[in-house]
Structure 1
Amino acid sequence: MTQSTPSFPEVGDVEAAATVRLSAEQFERAARYGVVAEVEPGQRLPNDLTLCDTATLADGLVAYGPGGFAGELSVLTGQKPALSVRVVTAGRVHRLDRPAFRRLMAQQTDLSDLFLRALIARRRLLRLSAEQTTRIIGDPRGGDGLALRVFLSRQGLPHLWLDAASVEAHAVLNREGLREDDLPVAFTPDGILRRVTPGVLGERLGLTYRAAGRGVVDLAVVGAGPAGLGAAVYGASEGLSTLLVDAVATGGQAATSARIENYLGFPFGLSGSDLTTRAAVQALKFGAEIASPCEVAALRTGEKEHVLVLSDGTEVPARAVVVATGAAYRTLPIARWDHFVGRGIYHAATDLEAQGVAGEAVAVVGGANSAGQASLHLARYAEHVTLIVRSADLGAKMSAYLVERIRADPRITVRTGTEITGLMGEERLDGLTVTGLGEPLACRGLFSFIGAVAATGWLAGPALDEDGFVLTDGPGALPFETSVPGVFAAGDVRHASLKRVAAAVGEGASAVRSVHQALARG
């Protein structure tokens, strides 16, 4: 269980938010949810939200005196705590374990906002503290390193990244007797992880699903993109025991969008990562559980309940299921495409990828909004951006406001009616051959936004269309219900969906209404 930390602008002064104290009235209300305990100097406390009555506590970043409270975002998410709280001066505290803290969050709106801002601010302080974080050494330009770095970023996990090519990284590797084939390497409080993957690190940090002592959940949501997050927020807020699982990390493809400017209520735009991490914290606030990375290998359907079978064989029984796995990236049928993925070919254009090609010539392939947004964002970093569009009309699938901005940007060259025919380079991409151009196009980064296919290879039972998208709303079915009663689909994975972030959120929320009706019919 996890979740990412949003960069909420309203948090304001991070240190002030991290060290906020409760008024006497607020403290009294919060203390009703806790258990009183007397503590002694040097004592280590469990990963609870701990209110300081007369004792003073510290966690290595901040000290908390009377009226303050100790605890980090892991109190809410359930992940392994990043900080250890110890007693500085003896006295009395009130401890709220996770169930008690969730009750407070659900019942005390003002306290919920105060605690949430403080926990987010502390996570942000923690991410700036090299001494308190997991350290990773890897090649941020290689496939394995980039995958790990994207995972850490999207999960909001405090970490210090060292480029394997740096002098500091070499010194650490030599000191620890590590070699290049050990990369990526993670240094955690529990030891060193060689050739670490997101899955292994997620398990070590307590982010994956734990089945011990579990019963049947009311709602299991597969896929943590906008549709899945929408379903989780509305399911949990309406009293359903809700579990959200994702094979990679929270946010889905939406999290890779550098800027979304047409989402209702955000006139100045926001990044896809910011939007989805806000939604994830919101789901956690209402009591949803999030497990990631957590891959679902199969769905076994039944009359009274359905069972998600995870890739490690763990079974998760649920009374209702929302499938929101979205779609997988399309590739071009060009030699060595797979070889260059993560070594010059990318399916996202966030700051992480853009920084890796700063000052270089790059290309974007695609003709829809995601390609246009990526081109404008990359132009801030790259020497020059070439936008390659197969259609003869840039505005065929792209919003007019993006077309206008791209045409006006001297850093972007648009080549319509053009296709990529070849990839150049040895270990890393350094050029392209394209139709209509007599010489190779210098390119250190190719950002591909050419669409996707339904991510339903794991799904058996519900009817699919010829392209693998889930069919819903059949005769006698509830809205968003598949051909299997009690199994629903929302977002990009659903046949004839709109393929827009706002629509996906709405579908996820609307599917929950049908879930309630399905549970009521027994």
Structure 2
Amino acid sequence: MSPAHETPDLYGAFPRLGPEETALLAAYGTRHPTLPGEVLIREGERWPAFYVVLDGTVAVIEASGHEERVRAVHGPGRFLGGLGLLTGQAEDLRAVACDPGVVLSVPVADLRGVVDEHPGIGDVILRAYLIRRGVLAELESGLRILGSRHAPGSRRLREFAARNRLPHKWIDLEDDKEARQLLDHLGFTPADVPVVILHGEKVLRAPGDAEVARAGGIPAPLAREMVGDLVVVGAGPAGLATALYAASEGLSTVVVDAVATGGQAAACARTKNHLGFPAGISGGELAERAADQAREAGAEFTVPARAVSLNRRERYYVVGLEDGRSVNAHTVVVATGVRYRTLEVPGAAEFQGAGLHYAATLTEAKLCLRAPVVVVGGGNDAGQAAIYLARRAARVRLLVPSADLGRSMSRYLADELRRDPGVRILLNTEVRELVGDAGGELRAVVAQDTRTGERREIEAVAVFVLIGAEPQTRWLSGEVALDEQGFVLTGPDVARLPASGTAARGEPWHERGRPFLLETSLMGVFAAGDVRAGSVKRISSAAGEGCVAVHLIDEHLKTTGHPPA
């Protein structure tokens, strides 16, 4: 096999290490001669070292059943691996030497010290790994998920893979008759679907999120009962910022999230008003960077792990998890964020996940290439989704409930939308019904002008709903004070409550005299980000609240006499 001649160089234009950077790395590693066909990493293994190619070439190969495809060929100055090398995930691909050569081998455990001492090297590595993850997603490498777009289990699994940025290929059994017949012949039943195929070999039948996470190489959640200074519930911008600053200050910090790091922000196609990114950055990439920073600072992540309860046990708060485990800590930060409100119109239930979506990531965008789509909403998320989809869809119709596009949208984004030829904005317009064709596929949206009452059909193969927000606080019911919409009350809002009504159980703040700015009705329990009543629903402000929360936690630990663990 001559891999170098079988595929275009997918990574050729992407960041690589120069001679000076390679020389700096050489002080931390060893030179390793390679022979043709030598395997440096196999599917399912974790990277033992960070490899830089000094001489010769190394092919990156994906195996699918009995077929093998070369995804890239790395020559001198290029380095192997992806984000999984930094996060401890197992590799989906194989790296094989094509010819006699030499690689520089730097132990993964030593890589953090290298990038701390030489930040420029870290920047090159991170940029390259993020780009590679995007390339693999475009190529639909990695997991194979077979399921029905009409089945809740299949939709859940696809969302989980997308939110965790696991490269995957979706095979819809409604469209792929051969795949459906194959499962029938092999004895698979409806109870076995969705089916996940990993590395072209391992097969999972109707797996849960945690099983797919482990199979996909996401590090397993900590098995021990975790005790520390702080547990952060939710890994969106507020939770990630809290984890980063808390761990940096020496607080033992554990982060739990029901689905993935990034929260709702990870579904943002691109934001252009985030400090430090004048050209914009996707929510997924921002989340990847923040999570890596927090891990490097010492924060521990356990994902997926859904919080279902909050209680007090002696000196600790206990966050109960869905799988029966618990996390104990002196303090808690609630950063569970919000979810978009569902569309309540005829046809919505029928097309859930099969034309009706509540996110506009690459996964959903692939389903509507060169086809007409509708985006519903008047906020920043809806505007960003419309611009992102306009690059792929035949045309985009943005249905805005209000009469003013700038009412709940940043001015720069509203101006960009008005200039975009691929987007048509319909103000004072709401969805009244989703309409399918004879084959059961989404065909159109029935929309109504709320001023005139006029109704019209708008052709669409997909509808992206990004309206309103519902706080994820059911697990807190009866434990901390919430407002009428379910958002967590903090600081001055809590101070105005009668002492007897601050919380059902626990240690109310009034025993200390007053609540801190972001403190809830329980002393030592804080809230940050979109889940907090009165918060500014922006990524930057959520991250800022996470930073402020850490300062308040430090003050709380000092006043209560609980030294950091």
TM-score of the pair, normalised by structure 1 = 0.79
The equivalent position to 2:554 in structure 1, one of 505, 513, 516, is 516
Contact conserved, 1:480 with 1:511, CA < 8 A, in 2? yes
Identical pairs, percent: 39
**Aligned equivalents of 1:414, 1:95: Cα separation in 2:** 53
| Alignment partner of 1:329 is 2:346 | no
Structure 1 residue runs without a partner (length 5+): 1-10, 32-40
**Aligned equivalents of 2:29, 2:228: Cα separation in 1:** 28
The structure-2 alpha-carbon separation of the partners of 1:490 and 1:445, relative to structure 1 and needing over 3 Å to count, comes to same
Relative to structure 2, which stretch is displaced further, 189-198 or 221-230? 189-198
Mapping 1:493-512, distance limit 5 Å: 493-512=531-550
The aligned length equals 498
Amino acid across the alignment from 2:198: T
Contact conserved, 1:211 with 1:314, CA < 8 A, in 2? no
Residue of structure 2 in register with 1:188 after alignment: 198
Deviations 1:311-362 (A, max 9, x none): 0111111222211111122124323433322122111122322221233332
How much does 1:482 deviate?
Answer: 1.5
Residue of structure 2 in register with 1:3 after alignment: none
Amino acid across the alignment from 2:490: T
How much does 1:309 deviate?
Answer: 0.8
Mapping 1:203-242, distance limit 5 Å: 203-205=214-216, 207=218, 210-213=221-224, 215-242=226-253
Mapping 1:314-393, distance limit 5 Å: 314-393=325-404
How much does 1:518 deviate?
Answer: 2.2
How much does 1:500 deviate?
Answer: 0.7
**Aligned equivalents of 1:210, 1:315: Cα separation in 2:** 12
Structure 2 residue runs without a partner (length 5+): 1-10, 31-37, 62-71, 496-513
**Aligned equivalents of 1:67, 1:384: Cα separation in 2:** 42
**Aligned equivalents of 1:71, 1:383: Cα separation in 2:** 36
Deviations 1:422-446 (A, max 9, x none): 2322744323333233443333222
Residue of structure 2 in register with 1:149 after alignment: 158
The equivalent position to 1:400 in structure 2, one of 408, 411, 435, is 411
Residue of structure 1 in register with 2:282 after alignment: 271
RMSD (CA atoms): 4.2
Residue of structure 1 in register with 2:524 after alignment: 486
Mapping 1:22-421, distance limit 5 Å: 26-29=25-28, 47=46, 49-50=48-49, 73-82=83-92, 109=119, 133-139=142-148, 144-164=153-173, 165-166=175-176, 169=179, 173=183, 178=188, 182-188=192-198, 191-205=202-216, 207=218, 210-213=221-224, 215-302=226-313, 304-421=315-432
Contact conserved, 1:106 with 1:286, CA < 8 A, in 2? no
Contact conserved, 1:137 with 1:163, CA < 8 A, in 2? yes
How much does 1:129 deviate?
Answer: 8.8
| Alignment partner of 1:471 is 2:481 | no
The structure-2 alpha-carbon separation of the partners of 1:391 and 1:65, relative to structure 1 and needing over 3 Å to count, comes to closer
Amino acid across the alignment from 1:249: A
Residue of structure 2 in register with 1:442 after alignment: 459
Q: What SS does structure 2 have at the residue aligned with 1:440?
A: strand
Residue of structure 2 in register with 1:433 after alignment: 446
**Aligned equivalents of 2:331, 2:117: Cα separation in 1:** 26
Q: What SS does structure 1 have at the residue aligned with 2:350?
A: helix
**Aligned equivalents of 2:516, 2:12: Cα separation in 1:** 44
Residue of structure 2 in register with 1:6 after alignment: none
Q: What SS does structure 2 have at the residue aligned with 1:467?
A: coil
Relative to structure 2, which stretch is displaced further, 231-240 or 170-179? 170-179
How much does 1:42 deviate?
Answer: 9.2
Amino acid across the alignment from 1:156: R
Residue of structure 2 in register with 1:37 after alignment: none
Contact conserved, 2:166 with 2:216, CA < 8 A, in 1? no
Residue of structure 1 in register with 2:67 after alignment: none
Contact conserved, 2:130 with 2:285, CA < 8 A, in 1? no
- The answer to which structure, 1 or 2, has the higher relative contact order (CA under 8 A, 6+ apart) is 1
How much does 1:295 deviate?
Answer: 0.9
Relative to structure 2, which stretch is displaced further, 236-245 or 447-456? 236-245
How much does 1:452 deviate?
Answer: 0.7
Q: What SS does structure 2 have at the residue aligned with 1:421?
A: strand
Contact conserved, 1:49 with 1:70, CA < 8 A, in 2? no
How much does 1:141 deviate?
Answer: 8.1
Relative to structure 2, which stretch is displaced further, 59-68 or 427-436? 59-68
Residue of structure 1 in register with 2:34 after alignment: none
Amino acid across the alignment from 1:227: A
Deviations 1:370-426 (A, max 9, x none): 222222332333333332222233332223333334344454333322332223227
The structure-2 alpha-carbon separation of the partners of 1:405 and 1:141, relative to structure 1 and needing over 3 Å to count, comes to farther
Residue of structure 2 in register with 1:462 after alignment: 480
Q: What SS does structure 2 have at the residue aligned with 1:300?
A: strand
TM-score of the pair, normalised by structure 2 = 0.74
